[in-house]
Amino acid sequence: MVATSPNPHPSSGEEERSKRRQILDGARKVFMDLGFDGASMGEIARACGVSKGTLYVYFADKYHLFEAILEEEQAEQGRTSFDFDPGRDVKTMLDEFGRAYIGVLCRPGGGSAIRTVMAIAERMPEVGRRYYANVLDLSVTRLATYLEARVACGELAIPDCRLAASQFMMLCQAGLFLPFVFQAEPPPSPSRVDEVADSAVRMFLAAYRVRD
- DSSP state letter for 17: H
- How far is 98 from 203, CA to CA, in rounded Å? 12
Helices of type H across 39-136 = 41-48, 52-58, 62-79, 90-105, 111-120, 125-131
Collapsing DSSP to helix, strand or coil, 74 comes out as: helix
Summarize the confidence of residues 93-97 as an average pLDDT. 96
pLDDT band at 4 (very low <50, low <70, confident <90, very high): very low
The predicted model scores a pTM of 0.73
Task: Report the C-alpha dihedral over residues 190, 193, 194, 199, rounded to 10 degrees.
Answer: 170
- How far is 138 from 109, CA to CA, in rounded Å? 20
| Residue 73 near residue 113 (C-beta atoms within 8 A) | yes
3-state helix, strand, coil in the chain (%, to 5): 70, 0, 30
Q: Does the pLDDT value for residue 80 go beyond 80? A: no
- How far is 136 from 131, CA to CA, in rounded Å? 7
List pLDDT tens digits, range 113-166.
777 788 788 888 888 888 888 777 888 999 999 999 999 999 999 999 999 999
How distant, in Å, are the alpha carbons of 10, 12, 59, 159, 190 from that of 6? Answer: 10, 15, 19, 64, 50
List pLDDT tens digits, range 125-140.
888 888 888 777 888 9
Q: Which domains does the chain have, with CATH numbers?
A: 13-67 (1.10.10.60), 80-208 (1.10.357.10)
Report the 10 Å Cβ neighbour count for 166: 16
**What pLDDT does 207 receive?**
97
List pLDDT tens digits, range 5-54.
444 454 568 888 899 999 998 988 888 778 788 889 999 999 999 999 99
Q: Does the pLDDT value for residue 82 go beyond 80? A: no
| Residue 8 near residue 43 (C-beta atoms within 8 A) | no
List pLDDT tens digits, range 46-72.
999 999 999 999 999 888 888 888 777
Collapsing DSSP to helix, strand or coil, 128 comes out as: helix
**What pLDDT does 77 receive?**
62
| Residue 67 near residue 127 (C-beta atoms within 8 A) | yes
Summarize the confidence of residues 89-106 as an average pLDDT. 93
Task: Report the C-alpha dihedral over residues 106, 109, 110, 111, rounded to 10 degrees.
Answer: 80
Q: Does the pLDDT value for residue 108 go beyond 90? A: no
